[in-house]
Amino acid sequence: MDQAKLKTLPPEVSIELIEEQLSLPDLNDLCDATDSAIDAGGGFGWVELPAREILERYWQGVVTMPARKLIIGRLDGVICGTAQITMPPNNNQAQAHAAQLNSIFVAPWARQYGLARMIVEHAEKVALEAEFKVLNMDVRETQTAAIALYESMGYVHIGSHPFYANVAGEYIAGRYYYKVIDPQK
């Protein structure tokens, strides 16, 4: 075939809320994506690569936990990014309006296609449907791409924590954010 005539199709992007157990291929893709994000230094808290069984159990646990909602992004059908919404415990009536948006990452090979923005937008929609009015989040100050994303989406920086994370014996500061997602709050 004439290579010059081959056209590259734009990648197909899709976002969804996971409501059932993950299929085996999806679980494998999700673990691969997590591995590559941890390797690149942005593994939402993981510093060292965990054993595959631990990662599999982690993701199966996230899907099963009633207090969590898992949103995933696919590029050409392959899971390559996620976000989680963590809901407050039932006893916390004073903060029943606010959920935590956390564990956002996109595998390095799938970055800059707009996936993270779409994942966060979808997470906000899911949180609003679950009747939350505010989302809280925090991030290491070294995650500059994530900070640019959140600030461009209207997350308000409320403060910093100098001892937020410790990686290889070094403290890294963190930034705390909130966003009002319900205009009728």
The residues, ordered by sequence, that sit 6+ positions from 117 with a Cβ below 8 Å of its Cβ are 149, 153
Binding string, residues 150-169; x marks residues near ligand COA by CB under 6 A:
--x-----------------
In the structure encoding, which two tokens stand for residue 138, read together?
């925090």
In angstroms, give the least distance from the CB of 107 to ligand COA: 8
Site size with ligand COA, rule: CB under 6 A: 21
For position 37 contacting ligand COA by CB under 6 A, the verdict is yes
For ligand COA, which is the closer residue by CB, 22 or 116?
116
Amino acid at 83: A
Work out the widest C-alpha separation in the chain, in whole angstroms: 66
146 contacts ligand COA (rule: CB under 6 A): yes
Residues 88-127, one symbol each (x = binds ligand COA by CB under 6 A, - = not), give ----------------xxx----xxxxxxx----------
Name the minimum Å distance from CB 80 to ligand COA.
9
* Positive or negative torsion for Cα 134, 161, 86, 29: positive
Strands 78-86 and 68-75: antiparallel
Please, which residues bridge with residue 13 across strands?
A: 75
Answer whether 103's CB lies under 8 Å from 83's CB: yes
Shortest distance, position 72 Cβ to ligand COA, whole Å: 13
137, 63, 140: which is closest to 101 by C-alpha? 137
Q: Which is nearer to ligand COA, 13 or 96 (CB)?
A: 13
Say how far apart CA 140 and CA 165 lie, in whole Å. 7
Alpha-carbon gap, residue 34 to 82, rounded angstroms: 9
| Window contacting ligand COA (CB under 6 A); options: 4-12, 17-25, 142-150, 157-165 | 142-150
Would you count residue 149 as binding ligand COA (CB under 6 A)? yes
Q: Which residues bind ligand COA (CB under 6 A)?
A: 37, 42, 44, 104-106, 111-117, 139, 143-146, 148-149, 152
